Amino acid sequence: MASVNKLNPGLWHISLPFQGEQEVIGAYVLSGKDEVALIDPGPETTLESLLALLQETEIVPEKVTHILLTHIHLDHAGGVGTLLHTMPNARVLVHSKGAPHLKDPAKLLTSAKRVYKDRMQELWGKVEAVPEENIQVIEGGDVLNIAGRRLEVHYSPGHASHHVVFYDVHTGELFAGDAAGVHLPGVDYVRPPTPPPDVDIEAWSATVDLLKRLHPDVLYLAHFGPIRNTIPYLERFRAQLFAWGDIVLGGLQEGKSEAEIVELLIARTQPELQRKGANAEIMKRYDLATNYEMTVQGYIRYWKKQHPERLSSK
Ligand SMILES: [Zn+2]
């Protein structure tokens, strides 16, 4: 595939090569009316590629006026502080719950270290703070007139408490971040990305209802790319979110350890991925986008925090 795909006039999708793999992490570029916006520019480890690939869209970094974040996880936003050195005038738009962690990433890094341990540097590189003067706090209900578009901001918790989606009502395009799951090119399969600490299945299900009500023509996933059959896709995603949650809950009820639950989840879910024709390379890309350990940690935390009463009942 090309690393830069022109989706529409004034809209590009860039594949950021991550750990040697394409089509795992993507950024979107919007351009119009003398403004340029990047959506989820990615971690620091892929910034060099991002800047090189931007040249293919004939956009010079200094011209970037806005950086829109669906949420602040490192694979979406870890590189923003560093990126601002090359686009100092860009305003960074982020939900009010995410903004403090851009200004001071310490807590975010502590939480990410629990998941990624000694692989932090290799995966994400540097995580620099974003200067307060660059940050513009957004909330659900806001309307952004950016790059010739009218983008509605919709608060969409579930994957993260600081998640928003951006919906262009005129074109029917919805920039979904991680709110609609992970679906990678090459196989028709959807995986729920459920990292700790604030996965919330009920909130996420309500977000799926919201996305269905908006009825977009296309969902632009961060991992990875456009999904067009949006309503059936969203239902499939929600079913998977619940089903994986039930597998983890079952493991907890049987007193299994975290490592045992990871094994259980792989045993119960990987056959479907294989049946759909995934080869080793696609499996690796799914694991890079959202790995089983992280998934299990997120669900375990959710069940223990939100539903301790269900842990013992069968
Ligand atoms: Zn995320």
Q: Which two tokens stand for residue 242?
A: 């619940």
Q: What is the domain count for the chain? A: 1
Mean pLDDT, range 158-170, rounded to an integer: 97
Asked if the peptide bond before residue 224 counts as cis, ω within 30 degrees of 0, the response is yes
pLDDT in tens, 106-122: 999 998 998 889 999 99
Q: How many CB atoms lie within 10 A of CB 294?
A: 19
> Which residue(s) pair with 64 in the sheet?
none
- Determine the pLDDT at residue 60: 86
User: What is the 287 CA–ligand 1 centroid distance (Å)?
Assistant: 14
Residue 171's Cβ-count burial label (10 Å; 0-12, 13-18, 19+) is: middle
User: What is the 255 CA–ligand 1 centroid distance (Å)?
Assistant: 28
Q: How many CB atoms lie within 10 A of CB 307?
A: 15
Confidence tier at 94 by pLDDT (50, 70, 90): very high
Per-chain mean pLDDT for the chain: 94
Which of these ranges, 1-5, 215-219, 263-267, has the smallest mean pLDDT? 1-5
User: Is the separation of the CB atoms in 27 and 40 below 8 Å?
Assistant: yes
- Determine the pLDDT at residue 169: 94
Mean pLDDT, range 185-203, rounded to an integer: 94
Whether 275 maps to a domain, the answer reads no
Q: Which two tokens stand for residue 29?
A: 């570029």
Reply yes or no on whether the pLDDT at 190 is more than 70: yes
Instruction: Write out the DSSP string of 216-240.
Output: -SEEEETTTEEE-SHHHHHHHHHHH
User: Is the separation of the CB atoms in 161 and 207 below 8 Å?
Assistant: no
Whether 144 maps to a domain, the answer reads yes
Q: Which two tokens stand for residue 60?
A: 């010079």
Mean pLDDT, range 128-135, rounded to an integer: 97
Q: Which two tokens stand for residue 70?
A: 């669906």
Whether 112 maps to a domain, the answer reads yes
Residue 122's Cβ-count burial label (10 Å; 0-12, 13-18, 19+) is: exposed
- Determine the pLDDT at residue 57: 85
DSSP letter, residue 129: P
User: Is the separation of the CB atoms in 185 and 23 below 8 Å?
Assistant: yes
User: What is the 7 CA–ligand 1 centroid distance (Å)?
Assistant: 23
**Nearest C-alpha neighbor of 297 from the set 107, 96, 102, 117:** 117
User: What is the 223 CA–ligand 1 centroid distance (Å)?
Assistant: 10
Q: Which residues contact 245 (CB under 8 A, 6 or more apart)?
A: 194, 201, 299, 302, 303
User: Is the separation of the CB atoms in 177 and 184 below 8 Å?
Assistant: no
Whether 214 maps to a domain, the answer reads yes
Report d(CA 162, CA 184) in Å as an integer.
24
User: Is the separation of the CB atoms in 313 and 215 below 8 Å?
Assistant: no
Confidence tier at 1 by pLDDT (50, 70, 90): low
Reply yes or no on whether the pLDDT at 266 is more than 60: yes
CATH number at residue 195: 3.60.15.10
pLDDT in tens, 14-61: 999 999 899 999 999 999 999 999 999 999 999 999 999 998 888 888
Whether 218 maps to a domain, the answer reads yes
- Determine the pLDDT at residue 277: 85
**Longest CA–CA separation in the chain, Å:** 59
Percent of the chain whose pLDDT exceeds 90? 87
Q: How many CB atoms lie within 10 A of CB 132?
A: 10
- Determine the pLDDT at residue 111: 87
Whether 75 maps to a domain, the answer reads yes
Q: Which two tokens stand for residue 131?
A: 């200067």
User: What is the 314 CA–ligand 1 centroid distance (Å)?
Assistant: 31
Mean pLDDT, range 63-72, rounded to an integer: 96
User: What is the 294 CA–ligand 1 centroid distance (Å)?
Assistant: 11
User: Is the separation of the CB atoms in 11 and 30 below 8 Å?
Assistant: yes
User: What is the 54 CA–ligand 1 centroid distance (Å)?
Assistant: 23
Whether 307 maps to a domain, the answer reads no
User: What is the 181 CA–ligand 1 centroid distance (Å)?
Assistant: 9
Report residue 267: phi and psi, to 5°: -60, -35
User: What is the 283 CA–ligand 1 centroid distance (Å)?
Assistant: 19
Reply yes or no on whether the pLDDT at 314 is more than 70: no
Whether 256 maps to a domain, the answer reads no
Percent of the chain whose pLDDT exceeds 70? 99
Confidence tier at 225 by pLDDT (50, 70, 90): very high
User: What is the 159 CA–ligand 1 centroid distance (Å)?
Assistant: 7
User: What is the 65 CA–ligand 1 centroid distance (Å)?
Assistant: 23
Single-letter code of the amino acid located at 47: L
Mean pLDDT, range 223-234, rounded to an integer: 97
Confidence tier at 210 by pLDDT (50, 70, 90): very high
- Determine the pLDDT at residue 114: 87
Q: How many CB atoms lie within 10 A of CB 215?
A: 11
User: Is the separation of the CB atoms in 204 and 160 below 8 Å?
Assistant: no
Mean pLDDT, range 279-300, rounded to an integer: 93
Domain of residue 206 covers 4-240
Report d(CA 124, CA 107) in Å as an integer.
15
